Every structure is written in structure tokens, then in C-alpha cells.
């Protein structure tokens, strides 16, 4: 794909990108596919997937209490528990505001460990990484928020995860459909790096493109597109209308450069993909 050549001109030391079709086959690759990158918040969809596997197994329930009083697993996944960004301090009543929270994902990991009796990183590996063949993906236990931002992975491994999001096998399709639909609709909130969004629609561990502006995805992205970006200059998205997903990893912190370059890059990728009926 010619669009992937755009990353060669980005002001980053290293970049890798891959586009995956719905059937799991590559539509294009650029850069070192086996190079490990810190994922930052692109870790959150991985953690969410593990939590959803635990829900399917019956170890957890989405509406069981977790976190602050009145909060549930669902609230934590959807950033509506009321917890602050990076500390266990409640700033709002559950379900009233969209407060993006690393702390909430650490609570999810603790809840998962307590319910299963298995350390979070091991459960994530057994439930998600191993079934998908993500052999080069791991959680850094020394990260400030292991479950929210401690992932390390490669473009090759995350392509396998994107393929799962396009055609789920680890999760039941109905579970993934719920996770990528609006949870607690109508809530306002701040999309980190892009300002206040009214509404700031979010799924269960996934940022939803919807009609947010500005946004890190493209103007051509379908409203049903979903994914996540990270402060280490990383992102992945899945666009159901295009029937494809994209992984892009860099080793430069997110900033104005990314907010400027990512949306036209996504639009260029989508322009090379056939739109599904």
C-alpha cells in the first residue's frame, strides 16, 4: 500500500505500520514488524479483551461491583467509574462523567486477579496472547499502570490482535459487538490530547470514532470504527465499513506531530481499501 510510505517521513526515530483485512491477511506492511515498542494506552484494549474473556468464562460479570462505591466492571471498562486519571481518587459519581482513567484499569486487573486467582499478566497471556500467537507481547510489571499502559508489543503481534477484532475467535462476536458499542451514552468528557468531546462516546475498553472532532482517526473513518492510541506514539484502529484494521507504532511520544499526521494517514489508508457493502 502506497499510503504506508507516509510513515517514512514522520519525525520519529522508528515506525512500523501494518494493515490487516477482515480475513486476517495483510493488506500492507511498512517498517520493522518484529521491533518491540512500548504501547502505552494501546494496552487497554488488550486488558479489556482479557476481562471480557473472564466474563464469558463466568469468573466476572460486567455489572458486578468493582472500584468506587456504585461502580462496576462495566463502569471501569468505559471510563465512567469516577476515578481520577492516575490515582485512586474518586472525582465523580459512577456513570455521570467520562473520566479517562489508568487507575480504573489497574482496579480491573486487581478485580480479575481476585476473581480468578491468577496474576493479571499471566491471565492476559493465557487468555489473549497465547491463543492469538502473540509471542512477542508482554506486560511490563514495573510500569506505572501495568494494565492501563504497560504493554510492549510488535506490529506483527498487534496485527494478530487486529485480526481478532475483525473476526473474533477468542471472544464471542456478540461480546465484541457490545464492547465496541456505546456504553453509557451521552456522557461528556475529555479525549486525552484532543480536548473536550460532547459526547465522548466510548465502548468497553475501546475509543469509538463516532462523530468526535477533533480525533486521532481520519475524517473518512466510519462512525463505527474503534480502537485506541497511546502516549508513546502508537495506535490501532478497526474500521468495519472498510473491513480492515491498522496498527501503527512509533518510538516518539504523542504530541502535535501525531495529531497533525495521524488523521490524513488514516484517510490515505482507507482510500486504498475497498468499502464493503
Q: In this structure, is residue 75 part of a structural domain?
A: yes
The pLDDT assigned to 276 comes to: 60
Which phi and psi (to 5°) does residue 224 adopt?
-85, 0
Largest CA distance in the chain: 51
- Confidence (pTM): 0.97
Edge-to-edge strand list for the sheet holding 151-153: 37-40, 151-153, 138-139
C-alpha pair distances (Å), 59 with each of 27, 52, 111 = 37, 10, 10
Q: In this structure, is residue 57 part of a structural domain?
A: yes
Q: In this structure, is residue 14 part of a structural domain?
A: yes
Q: In this structure, is residue 210 part of a structural domain?
A: yes
Q: In this structure, is residue 81 part of a structural domain?
A: yes
Q: Give the Cα-Cα-Cα angle 5, 234, 94 (nearest 5 degrees).
A: 145
Q: In this structure, is residue 276 part of a structural domain?
A: no
For position 68, which CATH number holds?
3.40.710.10
How many structural domains does the chain have?
1
The pLDDT assigned to 144 comes to: 94
Q: In this structure, is residue 277 part of a structural domain?
A: no
Q: How far apart are CA 223 and CA 14, in angstroms?
A: 30
pLDDT (tens digit, 9 = 90+) per residue, 149-193?
A: 999 999 999 999 999 999 999 999 999 999 999 999 999 999 999
Q: How far apart are CA 74 and CA 183, in angstroms?
A: 8
Q: In this structure, is residue 105 part of a structural domain?
A: yes
Residue 177 structural domain: 2-271
Q: Tens of pLDDT along the chain (277 residues)?
A: 999 999 999 999 999 999 999 999 999 999 999 999 999 999 999 999 999 999 999 999 999 999 999 999 999 999 999 999 999 999 999 999 999 999 999 999 999 999 999 999 999 999 999 999 999 999 999 999 999 999 999 999 999 999 999 999 999 999 999 999 999 999 999 999 999 999 999 999 999 999 999 999 999 999 999 999 999 999 999 999 999 999 999 999 999 999 999 999 999 999 999 766 5
CB count in 10 Å sphere of residue 80: 26
Amino acid at each position: 500500500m502506497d499510503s504506508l510510505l507516509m510513515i517514512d517521513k514522520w519525525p520519529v526515530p522508528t515506525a512500523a505500520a501494518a494493515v490487516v483485512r477482515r480475513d486476517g491477511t495483510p493488506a500492507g506492511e511498512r517498517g520493522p514488524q518484529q521491533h518491540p515498542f512500548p504501547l502505552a494506552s494501546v494496552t487497554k484494549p488488550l486488558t479489556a479483551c482479557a476481562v471480557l474473556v473472564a466474563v464469558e468464562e463466568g469468573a466476572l460479570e460486567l455489572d458486578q461491583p468493582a472500584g468506587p462505591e456504585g461502580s462496576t466492571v462495566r463502569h471501569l471498562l468505559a471510563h465512567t467509574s469516577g476515578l481520577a486519571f492516575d490515582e485512586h481518587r474518586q472525582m465523580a459519581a459512577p456513570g455521570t462523567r467520562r473520566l479517562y482513567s489508568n487507575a480504573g484499569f489497574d482496579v480491573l486487573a486487581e478485580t480479575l486477579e481476585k476473581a480468578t486467582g491468577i496474576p493479571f499478566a499471566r491471565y492476559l497471556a493465557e487468555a489473549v496472547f497465547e491463543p492469538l500467537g502473540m509471542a512477542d507481547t508482554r506486560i511490563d510489571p514495573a510500569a506505572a499502570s501495568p494494565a492501563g499502559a504497560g504493554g510492549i508489543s510488535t506490529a506483527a503481534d498487534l496485527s494478530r490482535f487486529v485480526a481478532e477484532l475483525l473476526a473474533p475467535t477468542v471472544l464471542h462476536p456478540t461480546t465484541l459487538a457490545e464492547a465496541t458499542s456505546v456504553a453509557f451514552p451521552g456522557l461528556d468528557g475529555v479525549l486525552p490530547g484532543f480536548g473536550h468531546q460532547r459526547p465522548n462516546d466510548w465502548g468497553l475498553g475501546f475509543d469509538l470514532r463516532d462523530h468526535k472532532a477533533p480525533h486521532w482517526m481520519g475524517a473518512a473513518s466510519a462512525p463505527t470504527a474503534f480502537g485506541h492510541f497511546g502516549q508513546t506514539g502508537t495506535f490501532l484502529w478497526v474500521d468495519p465499513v472498510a473491513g480492515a484494521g491498522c496498527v501503527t507504532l512509533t518510538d516518539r511520544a504523542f504530541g502535535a506531530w501525531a495529531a497533525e499526521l495521524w488523521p490524513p494517514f488514516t484517510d490515505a489508508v482507507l482510500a486504498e481499501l475497498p468499502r464493503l457493502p
